[in-house]
Structure 1
C-alpha cells in the first residue's frame, strides 16, 4: 500500500529480490516425504529425491533409470494408473493410493500429478494421527456446520473454527487480499494464550505476486517444520537442461525467506489453503502452530475439499452483490435512455439527469463537460481543479476508462474538496466527458509490524531478511478513496456504450424514425437481458454444493428457457 506522504513506486532491494525469486524452481522438496518422477508407460524413474533410500533402502543412483515396478508392487501402481487416466497435464496433485512400499513395507499415502511429460509421485509415510474417516465424509460434515451462518462474516468465522478443529493448529485465520494486494485478517480461531491477529493488516510484499500465482495453481501448502533442511531432487535439471518446474508439487521446498519470516513470527509449522473466486486469489485460510506439526494427506484432502466449498460461497456472495449492483445500474440506464429519447439535445438531457447518473456509478459527485462548459452535482473539485482532472483523464487514453482511488495522481492540492477518487467516461463527437468523484476515506490502519520495513538488513549486513517484529503498528492513511470495483467499471462501461451507441437526437414524429428508435430500444433491452444471463451463468459456479435433485431442477428450468427462446426464434423466422 502507498501510504500517506509516501510516493515511492519501487521497493527496497530486498523486496525486489523477493518479488523476483523463482520459488517454483527450488530444485528440492521438504523432508517429510519422497519424490519419484517417471516416464510412462514404462515407469522408468527419471528423478528422485535425495532421501529416497529412507523409503526404498537404496541410494538414488540405484533407483534413477530403473523401472519403478522393481520397487513398488503392481497392486500399488494400478490405482495410480487409474488416477492418471483422469488427470489433465498440470492439474492439481490427486491423493491416488495408499500402499506398502519398500523393503520394510512402509504404509504410505501416494499423490500423483502429470507435468512436463512426467508422472510425479509424492509419497508420504502414514502417521498414527491420520483421519480414519474418508476425507469426503469429514468435509461434508464441516460444510453442513458452516452452511447455516447468517452472513459472510459469520461464515468466515465458522470456517476458521472448523479448520482449527480439523487440524489442531494453534491459530487459524481467514486472510483476505485487498484491492491493493495487502492482506487483512477478517476471522480468527486461536488458542487462548495467543495474541489476537484479528483486524491486523499485512503489506502486499509479505506474499509477492509469484507466490499468489502458485496459491491459485496449488490450493493447499503445508510446512510441518519451518526449520527443515531441504532435500535436493536428483538430477536437478530435466533432459533439456532446464531447472525442474515444481509449481504443482505439494512437497516443494519453499522460499528460505518465507521460512525465516515464519520463524520470526514464532511459527514452527504452517498450512495455507487457498480461497479462489473468479479465477483470482481472493484470500487464504492461514494456519500457524508454535511447535512442528505434521498434517497427514488425508487431513489435507478434507481441508482441500472444504476450501472448494468456501471458495464457491465467496464467489456466490460476490456474484450476488455484483448482480444487485448491475440490477440497480440497469434500472438507471433504462430511465436515462427514456430521458435521452426526448426532444432535448444530449447536453441538455444529461444536465437534467446528473442526479440519475450519480446512481448509475456510486459516487459522491459528478461533473459533466459538454461544449466546453462544466456542470456539476454533489461533491466535485473546484473550477480550477476540474480542468486538471480532465487533463489527467485525457492522459490515460481515450479507449479505456481512466480510474484511480489515489488523490496524488490527479488532484491539485488546493482543489481537493476532500476528494481522492475519480473515474472518467469520454463520449460523443465533441470530446465530452463525465467525471465521477469519490471522497477521501481517512483510515486508521493497524499493521502487523512496520509496513515501511518489510525487509531489514541482517546483523552482518550481508543480505536482506524479513522483518523480525510483528507488533501492532498504527498509521493513519489519507489520500485514498473507496476503490472502484469491477462492478463500478462494468456499469461505467455500459453507460458509455449507452451514450455512444448512436448520436441521440430528438425523436421526430414521422413513423419511420419512430420505428427506428423503437428498434434501437428493443436491441438495447435484449443486450441488457443477455448480460443478465451471462451473470446467471457465472452464479452457477457457486452452486456446486447442491444435491443432485436440486441440480436437476435447475437443469429443467434452463432447458425450458432454452426451448422458449428457440421457439421465439423459429416463430420470427417463419414470419
Structure 2
C-alpha cells in the first residue's frame, strides 16, 4: 500500500470525531450543572435565540433564560433517563424575547445536563411520532422475506422523510458495507448492490452510531458553530458523542459533497448489541427534518432492529436444532461402538450435516478420511502446517481464505473455507469442515484500492471523488464461518473430545489386557515344558499315573491354545 495512503487511513481511523468542539448551526446548545442549573457551556450563536451574549449567560442560572415550566419538563425527562443515554425530547415551548417556538431535547453526560434546542416553524397538526411509527410498522410487519422487508423499510422511511434517496445499508463480515435495498427519485442513478470499503465508516464512527441512533445533517455546506468554552472543568475537550447537533468530520462533509449530497440522515440498525447496518438518507438540496419526524423514525428504527435481531435469533435456533439432532445421533453411535475413536472414521457422512459445509475430513493415526467435497490426501501436510502456524490453544481454528492453507486456489480444488477441531494434539489428529469458494462479481462504489485522495507530499487527504461502479471478481474465499457455526462446532467438539478420551482409555486398557495374556501364555508354556520333561524322566510309573500325567499335559495344551487364540483376537482389535 502507498505509505501516504496508509497514513491517511490511519489518520482517519484515529480522528477524534466526538471532540469536534462545535455544533451544526440549525440549533443551539446550553450545558448546565445541577442542582442550581448553572450554565457552563453555550454555543456561540446563542444570542440569536435568547438575546444574551454567551458571556452574559455563562455562570448564570438557566432560570434567567428559560421559563419554569420548560425547566420542569427538562428535569422530569432527565429524572426518567440514565447518564449516557441518547438525547430525549423534553418539551416544545417558546424561548427568548421573540418567543421562538423550539423543540428541546436533553441528555446527561460527564456531570452536565446538555440541552439541545431547535427552532421549529409554526405549523399545526403535527402527528404523534408514536402514531406515525405504528402506521409505518403495520406496513412492513407482514413481510416474511428479508429482501422484501428491507425494500419496504426503505420505502416507508422515504415516504416519512421525503429524501431523494433512502438505502438500507448492511455491514458485511469484513466490515465493508453493501446497499441491500433502495428507494430513490427516478432521476438518480441506482446504488442497489454497490459495496463500500470499511474505511468509509471507520470504527470510531460506528461506535457513535451505536450511542446515537439518529444522525441528521440538514445542510452539509454549513459553517460549524463553536462551543464556548471548548474545554470542560478539567481542561479536556468537551465530549459531544451523544449530541444530536454535534458537528461532523470535515472529511465526511467532503465525502457527501463528492457524492452530490447536501442533506443526509441515518438511522442505526442494531442487532445483538452490534451495528448491523444503517438506514441512510440522502438529499440533493438542504432539508430540515423536524424532531417529531426524527422521533417517529427512531421508533421505526427500533422496530426494524428488533425484527432483524429476531430473525437472526430464529436462524440461530434452527441451525442449533439441526446440529443437535446430528450431535445426539453421533453420540449414541459412538457410545455403542467398541472403540469410539475408530468408529468416528465411519461417521463422516453424518458429520457433513452437522453445520452448513461442503465436506469433512479426518486425520487419524497419520491416515486421511473424507466425505463430500474435501481436499485429496496430498493437501493434508499443508493443512497441518497452517494449523501449527495458527493454533494457539485447544479450540477451533478457522479461515475463509484458501490462500491461508493452500499454495494456490487451483490446488485447493475449488475449496476455500476451513474450520478445524483438534481431537488429539499429541497425535496430530484433527477433524475438518470445508466450504467451497464463492466466486463473486462485486460492484464497488469507486475503487476500494483508493478510498482516499492524497496529494503528492501527503500533507492533505480527502475522500475519493468518484463513486462510479468499479467491478471486481473475488475468488479464493468462502462464505464466512458465523458465530452460530462456531457455537455449534463448539458443542460438537465437547462431545467428541469426551468420546475420544474414552476411546483412548479403551485402547490403553486393550494394550494392558494383551500384555497380561502374553504373560499367561509364556507362563503356561513354561509349565507345559516342565511337565513334559518330568514325564520323559519318569521310567518307573504305573499305567494309571502315566494316564493322569497325560491328561494334565493335554489340559495345559488346550489352555495354551485358548490363550494363543485370545492373543490373536486382542492384536486384531
What TM-score, normalized to structure 1? 0.84
CA distance in 1, matches of 2:124, 2:234: 39
Structure 2 residue aligned with 1:444, among 438, 441, 444? 441
8 Å CA contact 2:31, 2:114 repeated in 1: yes
8 Å CA contact 1:38, 1:44 repeated in 2: yes
Superposition map of 1:196-207 within 5 A: 196-207=190-201
- The answer as to 2:135 corresponding to 1:153 is no
Query: What corresponds to 1:382 in structure 2?
Result: 376
- Structure 1 SS opposite 2:206: helix
- The answer as to 2:459 corresponding to 1:465 is no
- The answer as to 2:424 corresponding to 1:409 is no
Query: What corresponds to 1:334 in structure 2?
Result: 328
Query: What corresponds to 2:341 in structure 1?
Result: 347
CA distance in 1, matches of 2:50, 2:185: 40
More deviation, 403-412/467-476: 403-412
CA distance in 1, matches of 2:43, 2:34: 19
Superposition map of 1:468-479 within 5 A: 468-479=465-476
Query: What corresponds to 2:517 in structure 1?
Result: none
In the TM superposition, residue 19 of structure 1 has moved relative to its aligned partner by 1.0
In the TM superposition, residue 382 of structure 1 has moved relative to its aligned partner by 3.2
- The answer as to 2:488 corresponding to 1:491 is yes
Query: What corresponds to 1:314 in structure 2?
Result: 308
Query: What corresponds to 2:228 in structure 1?
Result: 234
8 Å CA contact 1:24, 1:246 repeated in 2: yes
8 Å CA contact 1:385, 1:412 repeated in 2: no
In the TM superposition, residue 470 of structure 1 has moved relative to its aligned partner by 0.7
Query: What corresponds to 1:421 in structure 2?
Result: 417
CA distance in 1, matches of 2:125, 2:198: 35
- Structure 1 SS opposite 2:142: coil
Listed as ranges, the gaps of 5+ residues in structure 1 are 1-6, 509-575
Q: Deviations over 1:286-337 (max 9, x none)?
A: 0000001011111100000000000010001111111110010000000010
CA distance in 1, matches of 2:456, 2:412: 45
Cα pair distance change 1:116/1:131, threshold 3 Å: farther
Superposition map of 1:539-554 within 5 A: none
What is the alpha-carbon root mean square deviation over aligned residues?
A: 2.0
CA distance in 1, matches of 2:122, 2:134: 23
- Structure 1 SS opposite 2:502: coil
Q: Deviations over 1:164-205 (max 9, x none)?
A: 011000000000111001111111111111111111111111
Cα pair distance change 1:316/1:129, threshold 3 Å: farther
Query: What corresponds to 1:171 in structure 2?
Result: 165
Query: What corresponds to 1:13 in structure 2?
Result: 7
8 Å CA contact 1:131, 1:299 repeated in 2: no
CA distance in 2, matches of 1:61, 1:401: 62
CA distance in 1, matches of 2:298, 2:373: 47
Superposition map of 1:172-251 within 5 A: 172-251=166-245
- Structure 2 SS opposite 1:122: strand
Cα pair distance change 1:131/1:431, threshold 3 Å: farther
- Structure 1 SS opposite 2:353: helix
CA distance in 1, matches of 2:485, 2:492: 11
Query: What corresponds to 1:514 in structure 2?
Result: none
Query: What corresponds to 2:502 in structure 1?
Result: 504
- Structure 2 SS opposite 1:97: strand
8 Å CA contact 2:265, 2:282 repeated in 1: yes
CA distance in 2, matches of 1:460, 1:125: 45
In the TM superposition, residue 381 of structure 1 has moved relative to its aligned partner by 2.5
- Structure 2 SS opposite 1:353: helix
Cα pair distance change 1:303/1:356, threshold 3 Å: same
CA distance in 1, matches of 2:115, 2:421: 54
CA distance in 2, matches of 1:133, 1:111: 18
Cα pair distance change 1:330/1:10, threshold 3 Å: farther
Query: What corresponds to 1:133 in structure 2?
Result: 127
CA distance in 2, matches of 1:210, 1:406: 27
What TM-score, normalized to structure 2? 0.85
Q: Deviations over 1:325-371 (max 9, x none)?
A: 00100000000101110133223211111111111122112111122
- The answer as to 2:138 corresponding to 1:144 is yes
8 Å CA contact 1:226, 1:259 repeated in 2: yes
Q: Deviations over 1:42-87 (max 9, x none)?
A: 1001111111111111111111110000000001110111111111
- Larger Rg computed on CA atoms: 2
Listed as ranges, the gaps of 5+ residues in structure 2 are 507-573
CA distance in 2, matches of 1:319, 1:86: 30
Structure 1 residue aligned with 2:43, among 43, 49, 52? 49
Structure 2 residue aligned with 1:278, among 272, 289, 312? 272
Q: Number of residues paired by the alignment?
A: 502
CA distance in 2, matches of 1:380, 1:9: 40
In the TM superposition, residue 130 of structure 1 has moved relative to its aligned partner by 8.1
Cα pair distance change 1:128/1:260, threshold 3 Å: farther
In the TM superposition, residue 10 of structure 1 has moved relative to its aligned partner by 11
8 Å CA contact 2:360, 2:432 repeated in 1: yes
In the TM superposition, residue 504 of structure 1 has moved relative to its aligned partner by 2.8
Query: What corresponds to 1:524 in structure 2?
Result: none
